[in-house]
Amino acid sequence: MLFVYVKGENRMDTKRLFEAGHGNKAWVVFLICLAIMAGAVVVASLIQTDFGRVAVTNVTYENFNGIPIRAKLLVPAEASPDHRVPGVVYIHGYQNNRETGDAYCIELAKRGFAVLNIDAIGRGNSGIPTDPKDPDFDKTYGGRTSLAYLRALPFVNADSVGMLGHSLGAEMAYEVGLTDPTVKALVITGFAYTLDATLTRPRNMLMILGKWDEFRKRMTGTRHFEAEWMRTPQTKQVFPVKEPEFGKTYGNFSDGTARRVFVPRTIHFQESHSHAAIAETLAWMKQALHPPDRYWIDPDRQTWQIKEWATLIAMLSCFASLLPLGLMLLRARFFSPLQGPVSGSYACSYKTYFKFVGLNGLLMWLFLPLILILFAVHIYLAPIDRIFPMMMVNGVVWWFFWINIIGFLIFRRWFRKRAAKDGLTLADLGISYRQDRFALDGAMISKTVMLAAILFAFAYFSEHFLEQIFIVDFRFIFPFASDLTPYRAKLCLVYFPFILIGFVLMGIFLHGQLRRSRKRTWFNTFVAWSFTNTFALVAPLILFLMIQYIPLFATGFIPLVGPGGMFVSFVINLFHIIVVLIMVIPVSTWFFQLTGKIYLGAIVNASLVTWMFVSSQVIAPIPV
């Protein structure tokens, strides 16, 4: 049987939520969410400032080609022109922003270093890069200018400055370190030195590359990194001994010839948040740059993890607050017409549920083929980056848009059969405002858009004001949501229509076609539906990641690489996508329960995801 009808339609009646007696409960939940959000941000700020012992400020300065660079400056509170401290510039990787380097920067700053943690050009709140073919294109994406800015600060010892970066950011730092002998220490994580390096250039270099780093073949040119790297021509040219070993330091810090390669047990993106890698970096910078002894703390005593979890809790609390806030606004007279139970008694059976989940999984597994098609169009037919400049986002949005278009075509075929056989209507599925045919109500849709705009504005400005006060954004390992520059705000208008179409069509699938039976209470139903909806979208992506990472962990083989490692970058991006889906699916589920329609949840989620993508993702050519 393809779907079942459940007796007792009022078992999940949400009318009780709109009764006067429940008003205070929504306010209580809303205030609790706000308190947790604000408290988590305060905790993150306290960790970032080491409880007042480190001053943290936003700084903006101009690159040599006129492009603005924004950075976070972390300075020991006691530093002054009379008590100068060593300085370090941190440059994050390709698909990140400055906060990705917070783990390293927080630990360095509280140990006596002034740290300039930059938004590389094209990332975060820094300006947009010029064309790579332009004569004033900066291959270091602001790294060289940032070093000069840091060195000129009155409380920084200009003779004791180093650089640190991850992935593409490590390449930028390495580029500077090769040609600038004033860089007294260099740490490159997720990147490997090249044949350009010598025994003395760059000075005092530590290389960190994860045991399972997905880019290790591309970075090192070796098939078996651990077996081959220390015998390569690059290593022979850099190390002062014939057979160096991992985890041992060679050369001398005093003359700039110190060399070391460390291999933590981690993958590429986790190198930015590896306890072991951070401890190695702290010890290396201490030996090379000599911070005042009074600041020194054991490298294993790290606190950055607290900040990372606190910012995740703040983000989850912010999004959770939209549920009681939406309920309270729906109780208002103006928005009360949007209230409505879930129509009909349609529910798919377990057998049908897993059939649809499997079919949807096959569509989601078109991730890499669809992205490859997009880049073929971009390279061979018509460049798209002038209109859609966020190439990583382009791939994800293109995939999300087309799998939902294909899914909708499959839905239409299924619906016509069910409508003819069982009398199922689009109204039963929360799609239409009329029972007899598809129809939208202009007044209802207008109010739905207004309510969604209010909810999104609350989420955005909550993050915005907290970030302005505490210099803390919403993130967890990956960047998720932060304040928007005017340029990025305009980009929201470019990407929002495509993401909205995807979420509307996804709502048809999740809340219509895939809807499971109702439970005894509205709360139990909300939990059950949120779980089944989340499972339907996330499980296929987790299985897809297993195809990549089980062989990698077991044998070192990486199945999905693609041209120039492009597939590796997009597969890593699935970790971010999975967390986004886990956060937003309950939001659409909640508003479907309260309104009986898919549209409010779709618009809210499209707004949130557009904000997350546009505020946090890179605007720069993909380095393939």
The DSSP code sequence of 494-553 is HHHHHHHHHHHHHHIIIIIITPPPP-SSHHHHHHHHHHHHHHHHHHHHHHHHHHHHHHHH
- Which has the higher per-residue pLDDT, 22 or 292? 292
pLDDT of residue 6: 40
The last residue of one of the domains, among 302, 320, 353, is 302
Q: What percent of the chain has pLDDT over 90?
A: 88
pLDDT at 151 over 60: yes
Are 344 and 258 within one domain? Answer: no
In a domain, 114, yes or no: yes
Are 295 and 348 within one domain? Answer: no
The last residue of one of the domains, among 260, 287, 302, is 302
In a domain, 624, yes or no: no
Per-residue pLDDT tens over the stretch 530-542: 999 999 999 999 9
The last residue of one of the domains, among 258, 282, 302, is 302
pLDDT at 500 over 80: yes
Are 404 and 297 within one domain? Answer: no
Are 59 and 179 within one domain? Answer: yes
Residue located via tokens 């939990």: 527
pLDDT at 364 over 80: yes
How many C-beta atoms lie closer than 10 Å to residue 212's C-beta? 19
Are 287 and 367 within one domain? Answer: no
pLDDT at 10 over 50: no
Residue 87 bridge partners (DSSP): 114, 161
In a domain, 319, yes or no: no
Number of domains in the chain: 2
Per-residue pLDDT tens over the stretch 206-244: 999 999 999 999 999 998 999 999 999 999 999 999 889
Q: What is the mean pLDDT of residues 250-262?
A: 97
Q: What angle do CA 155, 96, 118 make, to 5 degrees?
A: 15
Give the pLDDT band of residue 12 (cuts 50, 70, 90): very low
Are 249 and 360 within one domain? Answer: no
pLDDT at 9 over 70: no
pLDDT at 8 over 70: no
d(CA 479, CA 94): 12
Structural domain of residue 150, as residue ranges? Answer: 51-302
Q: What is the mean pLDDT of residues 272-279?
A: 98
In a domain, 1, yes or no: no
In a domain, 410, yes or no: yes
Q: What percent of the chain has pLDDT over 70?
A: 97
pLDDT at 17 over 90: no
Give the DSSP H/E element, type plus range, for residue 485: none
In a domain, 489, yes or no: yes
In a domain, 26, yes or no: no
Tell me, what amino acid is at 381?
L
Are 57 and 94 within one domain? Answer: yes
Global confidence as pTM: 0.94
pLDDT at 24 over 90: no
Backbone phi, then psi, for 473, in 5-degree steps?
-110, -175
Q: What angle do CA 156, 161, 162 make, to 5 degrees?
A: 140
Strand 205-208: give its sheet, edge to edge: 54-62, 68-76, 114-118, 85-91, 156-166, 183-189, 205-208, 259-262
Q: What angle do CA 477, 483, 484 make, to 5 degrees?
A: 115
pLDDT of residue 564: 79
